[in-house]
Chain A
Amino acid sequence: MLIYEQSRPGRRAFAQAPKAAPELSGIPQEFLRREKAALPEVSEMQAVRHYTRLSQKNFSIDTQFYPLGSCTMKYNPRACNTLAMLPGMLGRHPLAPELHSQGFMSCMYELREMLKEITGMHDVSLVPAAGAQGEFTGVAMIRAYHDANGDRARSEIIVPDAAHGTNPATAVMCGYKVREIPTLSNGDVDLEALQEAVGPHTAGIMLTNPSTVGVFERNIAEIARIVHKAGGLLCYDGANLNAILGKCRPGDMGFDVIHMNLHKTFSTPHGGGGPGAGPVGVSERLRPFLPVPMVARDGYGDYYWLTEKERPQTIGKLMAFAGNAGVLLRAWVYARILGREGMIRVAEYATLNANYMAARLRNAGFQLAYPERRATHEFIVTLKKQAKELQVNAMDFAKRLLDYGYHAPTTYFPLLVPECFLIEPTETEAKEELDGFVAAMQAIQKEAESEPDTVKAAPHALPVRRLDDVRAAREPDLRWIPGDRC
């Protein structure tokens, strides 16, 4: 029920009401309302119950295990949020003069330095507002680099078929043609196909390492050699950075540009549409093209903004200010709390948890998509046998998991593995939680064999039953009409 439907004239909720009417001076008369806004009128108890109930309907990381692969839906420590919200940080205006922003700017400078160290890149810009914009920035810089060299014949970006959909989309957004290359059955990039694909038309390659099939790309050094020899550059998708923090660095693998999803790897909740932060790191040759503004420190230890004036070859600005300040601050706090050793432990536990779960699920009879490979921070189970023999598919398993109190893993991605679950437990889950998930999978397997209809009609225990996503896509109806019941 919507809160509007509980509304009756004259009811008031005093605890939730503003303490005082806000100051309205300065707003021109013609912009002021003539009538009161049609807000719901409910009692204090109704307001409390309504929003408490809504929060209980939420399936969230605070209440449930959330093993969404390729997304790193990990716990975001409260301390990061609390410290990023200190009044001085929260109240800082982005147009405040440098003199009044030295504290914030010192954090940003340090964050830049830490990200350089973590990734092995020569320089970092914090500007991009999210992962997709980070990717865009990466390829835009590759374009700027080739243009600056007068190398305009380079028209193609190579993308392995296991890539995130954003990779080819980014290449096209930057005016490139996408050249797809296959992945071998062991999860590595097909080097022969890569060798055939590169040439004077190659602008670069976009790669995720560990890849979206949850394994480390073992031939990365050879890939870098092949692409560089052809005159192309290597662009790293930072989606899976969590697996390698403090262990190995994209800069050392030969990448020329990388983007990091600070909102997944560095402690900002995500998945609700933002805001995010997608800083980019670059090798020496791409340094001049980094987006501005960037924080710098002068000889006196004072911080200042680098702009187009100091960086004439920059690809320019991507948003009004220097990135999403709150998300960047949380990342800085997170990195400071973890420190160098903590960072390594993140990667180790993320990887240990994934391999533990993969081994337990395999022993329970589930089929791993890449059984001969050690998993990184995530791994893939394929339910094609269940789909074929029991007519219970990955989506049915996913929906049934909800009844058992577990958020489903990523389903049907990557596309090249049929009926797949991409499972990423993350480093912050206890062994009991991982065991519980495995037990739920085993229980669902039994149900699929003995009472498949229960699984196929799931979920049964949630506020909303199985959604008709086909009808939702074919006949989208996004209006709410007063009196409508959902």
Chain B
Amino acid sequence: MSNIPSELKYTKTHDWVRDEGDGKVTVGITDHAQELLGDLVFVELPEVGAEINAGDECAVVESVKAASDVYCPLNGEVIEVNEALADAPETINSDAFDEGWMFRLQLVDAGELDGLMDAEAYAEHCENEEH
């Protein structure tokens, strides 16, 4: 089983969310997701300032196998994106939970964080998906 840090929150669509305090969160795709996708060759990020609803497509990750949409985990405004991914999309493959972060959001309602899965629930979700 791939790496699932216990301090993060997760979505069913394989995003991770890190609570940075003050209603700010960092978002990326999980190690499990990058493993399924294979070597990434292109990443499209949202624009800073964009207001995005939870569940909306907000980014694209493309590997040699497939292009996949990334869905916004929570309602919020994009305050920062990881520009370095444009030149080095493989960072997500090598370090999905840290250097491979994708964007930061200012949440509309920080309370929404509680609605996401914890590491244990996400591990179970991945396990179920495989069967």
Contacts and interface: CB of A to CB of B under 8 A. Distances in A.
A470 interface: yes
Nearest to B64: A469
A418 interface: yes
Interface stretch (B3-11, B35-43, B115-123): B35-43
B89 to A, nearest CB: 8
B114 interface: no
Interface in A461-482: 469-470, 473-474
Interface string B43-87: 000000000000000000000111010000000000000000000
Interface string B71-114: 00000000000000000011000000000000000000000000
B124 interface: no
A475 to B, nearest CB: 10
B1 to A, nearest CB: 11
Interface residues of A, number: 8
A418 B36 contact: yes
A474 B38 CA distance: 14
A474 B65 contact: no
A370 interface: no
A415 interface: yes
Interface string A357-391: 00000000000000000000000000010000000
A473 B41 contact: yes
A474 B39 CA distance: 10
A412 B65 contact: yes
Contacts of B130: 384, 418
A474 B41 contact: yes
B21 to A, nearest CB: 35
B36 A470 contact: no
B77 to A, nearest CB: 22
A296 B50 CA distance: 53
A473 B36 contact: no
Contacts of A469: 64
A473 B90 CA distance: 12
Contacts of A418: 36, 130
A470 B66 contact: no
A415 B64 contact: no
Contacts of B65: 412
B42 A473 contact: yes
A-B pairs, top 10 by smallest CB distance, nearest first, are: A473-B41, A470-B39, A412-B65, A469-B64, A474-B41, A415-B66, A470-B64, A473-B64, A470-B41, A412-B66
Interface of A: 384, 412, 415, 418, 469-470, 473-474
